[in-house]
Amino acid sequence: MALRLVLAAALAVLAPALAAAGAPALGINYGQVADNLPPPQAAAVLLRALNATRVKLYDADSRVLSAFAGSGADFTVGLPDRLVPRLAADPSAASAWVRANILPHLPATSITAVTVGNEVLTGTDTAMLRSLLPAMEALHAALAACNLTSRVAVTTAHSLAVLSSSFPPSAAAFRRDVLPYMSPLLGFLAKTGAPFLINAYPYFAYKADPGRVDLSYVLFEPNAGVSDAATGLRYDNMLHAQVDAVRAAICRANYGKAVEIRVSETGWPSQGDEDEAGATPENAARYNGNLMRLVAQGKGTPAAPSEPMQVYVFALFNEDQKPGPASERHYGLFKPDGTPAYDVGVKAPTISGWKGNGSRSGGTGLVVAQGPGGADGVGPGTGYYTVSAAANKVKRQRWCVESLLVAAVVALASGLCWS
């Protein structure tokens, strides 16, 4: 009886809050392939300055999830590639992973999705390819046992290389070798209501052929664009074209109307090797600044104009231990000391005094300076793409009420999940 009263009260407050929350939310990828990053408490300050209310991790780092307790940020956490075969072979491993990595953080930290592996379907490991969907199904079943499937989605992120071609968007299709794995995976996403995640980087297209690819087109600049002759739709930036190419491929596989598409990674490097055309601070600022403005305006793609894109910018920090060309280590909006890697209009706070050495270090000694945008760097003039104070208030109200709901659900299910 008490539980029903809590749920009824929470829903009564949640309904108007949800109706009032119309502002788009910026997402940020928080990678940690580095040995010189500040602790999560410092990252929380920088994300607040960005007004980024969605955060994507590549693991389920308990230090990060604990540091963001009560923040109102929605987290997507990652199950590493190495665990995918284990979950596929042993469903009890999925239950153990949920108990160890999800339940301890709810409801204080909002976890809304789990990505199973990363870009698995464009890999060459056939065992991994066969294991992906069974692992996702096992994880979904483990969450269902805890009554959390309405709260936590199970999905996986894909490289744009799953497509056989991406232009014109309306002609795009999944690669024939990928389709046997993709079709049942799309069925799972449609059935569970989970989003399709795509890592889309217009930078790669420009880097590969800077002489033919229009830089203004890939940087969201005005007076640039191309048309799809089959549909008559005009694309004024490459990212929209890439997303609609994915949309066409999904529709061609007969799952288009039931699957939401989210951009799980996109960004632009501020530095690169000599042969990496366009990797400059100026281009990174133009790409990410224009992208964030697009997100704040709530614009959809030409093929789905009424569906605002949900985008996760890559990445929060430069990561000095990422392998590959120099650009891989320079996608961050911030340097490890918390200073902006380039100017995208953010009046970021100053962080100093953090102790520890490495991304897994302790999080003590954080000092937040009074920045130009007010305490914590949040206030008037923090950037044209930031969410308004009113929207943040609604977000906090939404989070508080949703936390009550999740707390009730977790309390109801705890005996079963922990048994």
Tell me, yes or no, whether 383 lies in a domain: no
DSSP state of 282: H
pLDDT of res. 413: 46
Of the listed 137, 221, 260, 265, which one is catalytic?
Answer: 265
Q: Where are the beta strands (DSSP E) in 40-152?
A: 52-56, 74-79, 110-118
DSSP 37: P
Q: Is residue 80 part of a domain?
A: yes
Task: Provide the 3-class DSSP secondary structure of residue 195.
Answer: coil
Please give the backbone phi and psi of residue 371, each rounded to the nearest 5 degrees, phi first: -95, 180
| pLDDT score of 383 | 29
303: in domain? yes
Asked whether the beta carbons of 77 and 155 are under 8 A apart, the reply is no
Token digits of residue 146: 């805890």
State how far the alpha carbon of 142 is from the alpha carbons of 92, 118, 131, 137, 413, in Å: 8, 20, 16, 9, 12
Instruction: Answer whether 29's CB lies under 8 Å from 265's CB.
Output: yes
pLDDT at 382: 28
Which carries the bigger pLDDT value, residue 382 or residue 163?
Answer: 163
- φ and ψ at 130, to 5 degrees? -70, -25
**Mean pLDDT of the 70-81 span:** 96
- Taken in order 182, 204, 342, 300, is the CA torsion positive or negative? negative
Whether residue 4 lies inside any domain: the answer is no
What pLDDT shows up at residue 308? 93
Q: Is the pLDDT of residue 385 over 70?
A: no
User: Which amino acid would we find at residue 150?
Assistant: S
Say what percent of the chain tops pLDDT 70: 76
Residue 276: active-site member: no
The predicted structure's pLDDT at residue 241: 98
- What's 41's domain CATH number? 3.20.20.80
Q: What is the pLDDT of residue 51?
A: 86
Pick the residue with more confidence: 15 or 128? 128
397 against 222, higher pLDDT: 222
Residue in 119, 137, 276, 402 annotated catalytic: 119
Q: Residue 85 — very low, low, confident or very high, per pLDDT cuts 50/70/90?
A: very high
- The mean pLDDT value for 88-117 works out to 97
* 267-297 per-position pLDDT tens digit: 999 999 999 999 999 999 999 999 999 999 9
Residue 235 lies in a domain: yes
Q: For the residues 296-316, what does the mean pLDDT come to?
A: 95
Residue 95 lies in a domain: yes
pLDDT for res 90: 96
- pLDDT of 223 reads 86
Classified as helix, coil or strand, 143 is: helix
Q: What is the pLDDT of residues 192-248, one digit of tens each?
A: 999 999 999 999 999 999 999 999 999 999 888 999 999 999 999 999 999 999 999
Task: Give me the pLDDT at residue 343, please.
Answer: 86
Mean pLDDT of 379-407: 38
pLDDT value, residue 418 = 54
Q: Is the pLDDT of residue 129 over 80?
A: yes
Q: Assign 353 a pLDDT band (cuts: 50, 70, 90).
A: low
pLDDT band at 6 (very low <50, low <70, confident <90, very high): very low
User: Does some domain include residue 214?
Assistant: yes
- What's the number of CA atoms in the CB half-sphere (13 Å) around residue 78? 21
Could you tell me which residue, 357 or 43, shows the higher pLDDT? Answer: 43
Burial bucket for residue 260 (CB in 10 Å: 0-12, 13-18, 19+): middle
265 carries an active-site annotation = yes
Domain that holds residue 160: 23-348+406-415
> CA–CA separation, 145 vs 140, rounded Å?
9
The per-residue pLDDT for range 135-190, each reduced to its tens digit, is 999 999 999 999 999 999 999 999 999 999 999 999 999 999 999 999 999 999 99
- Supply the pTM of this predicted model: 0.82
Average pLDDT over residues 287-315: 94
Could you tell me whether strands 367-368 and 351-352 are parallel, antiparallel, or unpaired per DSSP bridges? Answer: antiparallel
- Confirm whether 291 is domain-assigned: yes
Rounded distance between C-alpha atoms, residue 24 and residue 31, angstroms: 23
**Beta strand pairing status for 52-56 and 367-368?**
unpaired
Distances (CA, A) of 170 to 13, 166, 178, 235: 43, 8, 19, 12
Total domains in the fold of the chain: 1
Distance between CA atoms of residues 74 and 68, nearest Å:
10
Look at residue 176 in the predicted model and tell me its pLDDT: 95
pLDDT of 359 higher than 70: no
CA 397/CA 57 separation, integer angstroms:
24
